[in-house]
Structure 1
Amino acid sequence: MPDTAMSDSAPPWAPPAAVLFDMDGTLVDTEHLWWQAAAELATELDLTLTERDVPEVLGRAVEHTAAHLHRSSGTARSEADLVERLGDSFAGKVATEIVPRPGALALLAALHDARVPTALVSASPRRVVDLVLGSIGSEWFTVTLAAEDTERTKPAPDPYLAAAGLLGLDPATCVAVEDTPTGVASAHAAGCAVLAVPSAVPIGAAPRVTLLDSLEQADLALLGKLAAAPAV
């Protein structure tokens, strides 16, 4: 006969194999700094950013946004110059203002205590990632990836595929935590379950994408259930 007492006491969930975190707007409140940096550069180019520019800025790598501003302005300045100017501006802003998002550090601590592997998967340059790690602590993460670490960055699946690969895991057993449609698209394409906490723009419903208002609502049980949900 089965041991009903044992089965009744068994937890209804197990921790995820790993949790893969976006950085800007997810763990730290830096998306507004990125928008400010892009808006200031746009002003130098006689442009004004509007809602139409949001998909080309938020959640995007420096190179993507610089290319967008280059095309939109028709400036004689080189695209490489815009990349450097935008990267320097953003890094300078981040260096003076790193504020964790509500619930972020508590969730990282819970995962650390439960010995769940974690990855930081960012589309920001390595120098910005290292600034943030120096503030919130690099010890929370098993591996970290910046924009330079994969040939393609978000919304391509490469960053999340690389993170899972470094951890020796199938992406389908991992949960990615994101805040933008670009990041969600990247994680979803890699096969991860996604926990989305929108920061600046709405995120639409999709299979294996769970929406929350804050990371304060997330815990190990929820992450475990998301990882266990069947892929479709």
Structure 2
Amino acid sequence: MDTALQAVLFDMDGTLVDTERLWLRVVEEEALGLGIALTDADLAFVLGRAIDDSAAHLAARSAGRPDRARLGESLERRFTERVRREVVPMPGAVELLTALGAAGVPTALVSASPRPVVDTVLDALGRRWFTASVAEGETPRTKPFPDPYRAALTTLGVPPAACVAVEDTPTGITSAEAAGCSVLAIPSHTPIAPAPRRTVARSLLDVDLALLRRLVGDPGHDSAL
């Protein structure tokens, strides 16, 4: 028997809103002040991770060994300010949220960003679209561990097999898959290959309710759109 779609769990940065470019700009500015010449590997590392993890990475790369806590606070403050001024929904995001709302499918926002950033995005997109949200620091571990997705599933009261997680980074995909969710990947900066229970799309513009229902109804799916 096919499983019915009971919820859709969305990553935030780079998936629903175009904030990854803002985050990378903030990281680059901090790195410049610390005298760090960032590599592509550095930029790939900070995508999809908690601010504390990124602060620790920059601190380790700096010859001056800056205070990790203060660096994290600076990153969070700058990023929150940028998001408040410049946040933009990804193409197709509002249309997909509208379709899910009309169909009565619950959604959750599952992010590695801190609560002030998540709340800023919720206000920009419309809190009415989301039944639950999870931010950095609200679970014992953050992405790539499964804790954030498990917390969202618990809040919604739905089993992972009946949900689709929409993600854009390997870090987030690892988290969602470890929690038992089917994944719809929309790669941002790092290429992502299809895998069992993982479908890859180019954009949210290619995603509709029928596709999401199909992904939970066919647990062996493995495709690229």
Q: What interval of TM-score do these two structures reach, taking the shorter chain for normalisation? A: over 0.9
Q: 2:3, 2:161 within 8 Å by CA — same for their partners in 1?
A: no
The amino acid of 1:24's aligned partner reads: D
Encode CA deviations 1:165-200: one digit per residue, 9 max, x unaligned: 111111121100011111111101111000011122
The amino acid of 2:194's aligned partner reads: A
Q: Offset at 1:14? A: 7.2
Report the equivalent of 1:202: 191
Q: 2:140 aligns with which of 127, 145, 151?
A: 151
> Aligned partners of 1:128 and 1:113: how far apart in 2?
27
Q: Offset at 1:77? A: 2.2
Report the equivalent of 1:230: 219
For structure 2, the 5+ residue unaligned runs are none
Q: Offset at 1:149? A: 1.3
> Aligned partners of 1:51 and 1:30: how far apart in 2?
18
Whether 2:128 is the aligned partner of 1:139: answer yes
Q: Offset at 1:201? A: 1.9
Q: Measured at CA, do residues 189 and 14 of structure 1 come closer, stay the same or move farther in structure 2, by a change above 3 Å?
A: closer
Whether 2:208 is the aligned partner of 1:219: answer yes
The amino acid of 1:80's aligned partner reads: A
The secondary structure found in structure 2 opposite 1:213 is: coil
Paired residue total: 221
Q: Offset at 1:103? A: 0.5
Whether 2:46 is the aligned partner of 1:57: answer yes
Q: 2:75 aligns with which of 54, 71, 86?
A: 86
The amino acid of 2:174's aligned partner reads: A
How much identity, in percent, do the aligned residues show? 55
> Aligned partners of 1:71 and 1:178: how far apart in 2?
28
Q: 2:8, 2:106 within 8 Å by CA — same for their partners in 1?
A: yes
RMSD, aligned α-carbons: 1.6
> Aligned partners of 1:88 and 1:164: how far apart in 2?
29
Q: 1:122, 1:145 within 8 Å by CA — same for their partners in 2?
A: yes
> Aligned partners of 2:144 and 2:169: how far apart in 1?
10
Report the equivalent of 1:20: 9
Whether 2:25 is the aligned partner of 1:36: answer yes
Q: Offset at 1:49? A: 1.4
Q: Offset at 1:229? A: 2.2
Q: Measured at CA, do residues 76 and 54 of structure 1 come closer, stay the same or move farther in structure 2, by a change above 3 Å?
A: closer
> Aligned partners of 1:222 and 1:15: how far apart in 2?
12
Which structure's CA Rg is the greater one?
Answer: 1
Normalised by the length of structure 2, the TM-score is: 0.94
For structure 1, the 5+ residue unaligned runs are 1-11
Q: Offset at 1:13? A: 7.4
Normalised by the length of structure 1, the TM-score is: 0.91
> Which shifted more, 167-176 or 21-30?
167-176
Q: Offset at 1:54? A: 2.6
Q: Offset at 1:148? A: 1.9
> Aligned partners of 2:4 and 2:37: how far apart in 1?
46
